[in-house]
Structures are given as C-alpha cells and as structure tokens.
Structure 1
Amino acid sequence: MHIYIDESGTFLPAPGKDVSFSCVGAVAIAGRNFGRLEADFSKLSATWPKENGEIKGKLLNEPEIADLCKLLASYRVILEAVVIDMNWHTEGEIDYHQKRQAEEIMEHADDTLHPSMIATMKSLQETCLRLPRQLYVQQVLLTTLTWEILEKAMLFWVQRWPGELAKFLWVIDAKDKTPTEYEKWWHMCVKPFLQAQSVDRPFTFLKGADYSAFHRNFPARPVPKHLPRPEGNTTARRSHGSDFGKILNRDLVFGQSHQYIGLQIADILTNALRRALSGRLQPEGWLPIRNLLIRGKTAGIRYIGLTRNRVDPSWVGDPVPRMLAKGMLVMVPE
C-alpha cells in the first residue's frame, strides 16, 4: 500500500484569533489501484488552479474538493488526520512536553547497552531539545498519525485485499530538497517510539484474518528487554511484536510534492480539513471527506492536546467532527 503524509498550518499560536488549528493528514491507497487512480486524478485536475505548475489545496473550491472525494471513495482511499489547536497551548506547556520526551529518550539507557548506542541516544536527546516548538509539535502529531494510519489501513485491507500488507511505501512531504536535521531525527526516533508504545498498547490484529503477506515480509521480532512493561503490570509482557524498523525503514522517503500525486492529494484533504475547522470552507466541500474516514474511536480525526488536565473547548464544541462522523466507512465489510 502507498501512504502519503502532509501537513497544513503553522503549528504556532495565532494571536487575536479564537483558534489556530494545525493538522497532519495521511492518505492510504491500495497498490493495486494506484496507477488507475493517478490517471483519473490527472484527468480530473487538468483545469484546476495551480501554483508554480503544482496543485495546491488552498486554491481549490468546494465543488473541486467534493469531486476529488468522490473519485477517491471509488478507489477506497483511506484518510486519517491528527489535529491540534495551538491557541489552546502555552509555550510553557509545550516546553514541558518537549523536555519530558527528551528525558524519555534516555530513560532506559543503562550499562546493558553498548556505549555507541548510548552515545546515539544522547545525540537524539540533544536534537529533541533543540527543535523549535512548531517542529516539536508537528513531530508529535506525525508520530501519532503514523501509528493510526498503519493500524487502520491494515485492519481495513486485510479484510478485503490482504496482499496489500506485503509492502508499505511511505512518502512524507519534505521540508527541503535534502533531508533536514528534523527529518533525520524523526526517522530515527519514530521506530523506537512506536515500539515502546506497542508494549503498552499492542498493535491490533484481526483474529482469523489472512496476515500471511504481512508476516512473510515483516516477521515478528522479540520485544527488546529494555522497553518498559505495560503500565500497572510487572510480570506479563508479550515476547514478540511488530518490527517497526522494517515497516518504516524499507520504503520511506521525504519527497517533493510536485513529484508525487499522492502528496498532492494528501495536501488537498489536509488543507480542506483545516479550512473546515477554521470556518473557511463550506460543508459542500468538507462533508464528502467522511466517505474516506473509517468509523472508530477517533472518527478518522484525532485531536491532540499537549496540555495537562485541560480540555480544549474549541474542539469539544466544533460541529465539523460530529458531522463527519455520520456516514463514514465501516471497518468490517457489510
């Protein structure tokens, strides 16, 4: 399967405004459909406005976005998004979250690890602390999204086209022509982050489904002994788990959007969601997005808050997530 990830927003507060939503979105496309979808997208978008020869979501109107959603739904494309309201966060709260994550990088470093490994972990910790606030927040959303889209896409397609689980092609919108320090850091850290998370929240597999293609290409590996045990459980732990290193290492690139139609699609949908949440897109344009979202606990859109013990009222009272929840894709085939 092909997975394309893009972001929308500054990941900074917007003084004088009620909300400042930023969003990271991923589209998952079945490999068997990708060539035909590319051709149909090129035809559909031939007359759309462009910026420097490239289609940008911010330039599209409601009918154009709705037409794209109709096309994507016909190919069973899946969308997943993670959202944050930066106006609900103080600099101190973000700094505290960043400091805690940096501390966790070294939390399990002890004399059982090779000195070179400890040196690498220390370097990653220092880079984490150097990240500007907006990049730090973006990586939190990106890491969360990576787990969500992988888990949901696998569950969705193992019940329909299980062969799609044989290979994952990841393309993330690049910041520059060559990988930045932030991108290198995230690519190194996301694998142990997800591996550690999987101990507390095991990756979901559907009992009785055909995972032969997945297990053939990504055999389970022993859970590293240095990872923490599930919260509140000092004895039980799984001996093996998913190999996130292989899943995210084999075919992951940071690409330029003009080279990947999938990134352009991710840009359009992620931008449309942000415009909808900010009140700058009419329902005609964003309601069809629900046909790409999978019904679940997060309704295809997950809100992230880095605050402690505070609930963001702008998200709780927003009608967009509630309206998108009606008519979404179902996980189990009918």
Structure 2
Amino acid sequence: MLPGGDYRHFQRFILAELPTYLQGIAPSVDRTYGAGINLQLMYGENFRFSSEPEPGLELVDIVTNALRRGLVGNLGEEGWPPLRGLMIHRSDVYVNPVGLFQGADRKVATALLPAMNKFREGGRIMATSSLQWPESNHKA
C-alpha cells in the first residue's frame, strides 16, 4: 500500500495478525497498514465479470497502455501526444507516474521528464467560451 493512502474501504480485507502458518516465513516489513491482505475474503466479494465487450473499460486500457508506452519510449511520439486532448488542462503536468516498488530509481523518473513535460499543454480547458459573467460582475 502506498504511504498516506486512504484504505478505510479496504479495511475489512486487512489482517490484524499474520496467520500462524506464515509467521517466521513472511518477510518482516512495515506493518503500519496491518499484517497483510486476506485474498480469499477479497476474491470472495461479488465482482462482476463479463465475457461481453466493455467499451469504456477497453478504451481506458488502450489509452493507458498508449500513455505508458509513450512515456517509456516504446511508442513513437506521433502516437501519444494526442492523448493530451483527453485530459483536463492544469498548471502542472497532467500525469504523475507512480512507482510501485521500494527504492524507486531516480534515473527512471529523470528519463520520463522529457515526455512528461509534453503533458503541460494541449489539455481541455474546463471553462467554455460560452461562459458569460453577469454584467454586474464586470469591473471597469
């Protein structure tokens, strides 16, 4: 789990203590968020699986993979900058990669900077041109 994350909704799956059969076997790590996750309980939840195409989910998968491949250099630059038009413009970069491993290598993050900096423009502006302020709000 990421430090500082809000895992209250996930609390029912978190083990307070390691099961006896794992004691002495499981690596000693920070147990701030509990002893581990009860995967049997988690997988027993009522998940919805479908063999039918899920267009929204498939689109998200395509976009995410194109962005990931663009950032690591496995997709030519003509393939991923158009993704900026799907994102909301803000003053900082539109994407913030997260390393899900301990001791994230700064060289990797530095290598991503040139591509990430291209995600500072080209996003959608949330205020539309049809947005008009009432006359009483205009100051001369």
Secondary structure class of the residue paired with 2:93: coil
Tell me the equivalent position of 2:42.
181
Tell me the equivalent position of 1:331.
126
Write the distance in 1 (CA, Å) between the matches of 2:38 and 2:77: 36
- TM-score, normalized by length of structure 1? 0.26
Deviation at 1:315, TM superposition (A): 2.4
Give 1:329's aligned amino acid: R
Deviation at 1:307, TM superposition (A): 7.4
Q: Deviations over 1:63-101 (max 9, x none)?
A: xxxxxxxxxxxxxxxxxxxxxxxxxxxxxxx7xx58x87
Equivalent residue in structure 1 for 2:97, among 294, 298, 303: 303
Deviation at 1:271, TM superposition (A): 0.9
Give 1:326's aligned amino acid: E
Change (3 A) 1:315 1:295: farther
Change (3 A) 1:182 1:298: farther
Deviation at 1:314, TM superposition (A): 2.1
Contact 1:257–1:264 under 8 Å retained in 2? no
Give 1:279's aligned amino acid: G
Deviation at 1:291, TM superposition (A): 0.8
Change (3 A) 1:306 1:270: closer
Contact 1:295–1:330 under 8 Å retained in 2? yes
Change (3 A) 1:309 1:259: closer
More helix by share: 1
Write the distance in 1 (CA, Å) between the matches of 2:105 and 2:123: 25
For 1:124-273, what aligned pairs fall within 5 Å after superposition? 124-126=13-15, 129-130=36-37, 181-182=42-43, 184=45, 254-256=48-50, 258-273=52-67
Contact 1:295–1:329 under 8 Å retained in 2? yes
Tell me the equivalent position of 2:88.
294
Write the distance in 2 (CA, Å) between the matches of 1:308 and 1:260: 34
Tell me the equivalent position of 1:274.
68
Whether 1:320 and 2:115 are equivalent positions in the alignment is yes
Change (3 A) 1:320 1:257: farther
Q: Deviations over 1:30-59 (max 9, x none)?
A: xxxxxxxxxxxxxxxxxxxxxxxxxxxxxx
Structure 1 vs Structure 2 CA RMSD:
4.2
- For structure 1, which runs of at least 5 residues remain unmatched after alignment? 1-93, 106-119, 133-179, 188-252
Deviation at 1:272, TM superposition (A): 0.5
> Larger radius of gyration, structure 1 or 2?
2
More strand by share: 1
Contact 2:92–2:120 under 8 Å retained in 1? no
- TM-score, normalized by length of structure 2? 0.54
Write the distance in 2 (CA, Å) between the matches of 1:320 and 1:276: 8
